[in-house]
């Protein structure tokens, strides 16, 4: 299956509760109902190479997700909503990227400000550094509950 066909397959999977879909290089389709960067973080924790060559479709893509895709080796991505910070990250990566609507930044879940994940990586350019910073932030947030 060609990359553009795999991206279309991933986009078509964004139905109902599905928030994230990845058409893997091996032809398998992985989907998730988790929000934010949770689907990608879970996949990378399981297998660092699982998204190499994958085509990803996501409902919302912020800078954190864009940098994670770069680290993971995603080749093509689509976001229904994308932040201008994510677009800057994609512009510096080799990922072919399309989107529906651009927003200034991703809003946090309480709608009171910027998403903490996007905020965490605003000044980070390196995908590896971003991944480590996001792991620390997630650990911090889960221990605060």
For the stretch 95-144, pLDDT in tens is 999 999 999 999 999 999 999 999 999 999 999 999 999 999 999 988 87
Task: Give, as one character, the DSSP assignment of residue 29.
Answer: E
pLDDT at 94 over 70: yes
pLDDT at 145 over 70: no
pLDDT class of 4 with cuts at 50, 70, 90: confident
Nearest to 55 by CA among 7, 104, 108, 5: 7
Give the angle subtended at the CA of 45 by the CAs of 32 and 39, to the nearest 5°: 20
Region 6-26 average pLDDT? 96
pLDDT digits (tens, 9 = 90+) for 36-92: 999 999 999 999 999 999 999 999 999 999 999 999 999 999 999 999 999 999 999
Q: Whole-prediction pTM value?
A: 0.95
pLDDT number for residue 144: 78
Nearest to 66 by CA among 111, 48, 107, 74: 74
């Amino acid at each position: 299956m060609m990359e553009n066909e795999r991206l279309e397959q991933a986009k078509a999977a964004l139905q109902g509760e599905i928030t994230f879909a990845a058409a893997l290089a091996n032809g398998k389709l992985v989907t998730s109902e988790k929000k934010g960067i949770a689907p990608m973080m879970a996949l990378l924790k399981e297998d660092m190479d699982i998204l190499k060559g994958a085509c990803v479709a996501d409902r919302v893509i912020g800078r954190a997700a864009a940098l994670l895709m770069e680290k993971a080796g995603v080749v093509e991505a689509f976001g229904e909503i994308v932040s201008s910070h994510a677009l800057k990250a994609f512009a510096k990566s080799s990922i072919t990227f399309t989107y529906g609507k651009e927003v200034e930044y991703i809003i946090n879940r309480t709608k009171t400000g910027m998403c903490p994940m996007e905020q965490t990586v605003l000044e980070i350019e390196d995908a590896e550094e971003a991944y480590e910073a996001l792991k620390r932030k997630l650990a911090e947030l889960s221990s605060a509950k």
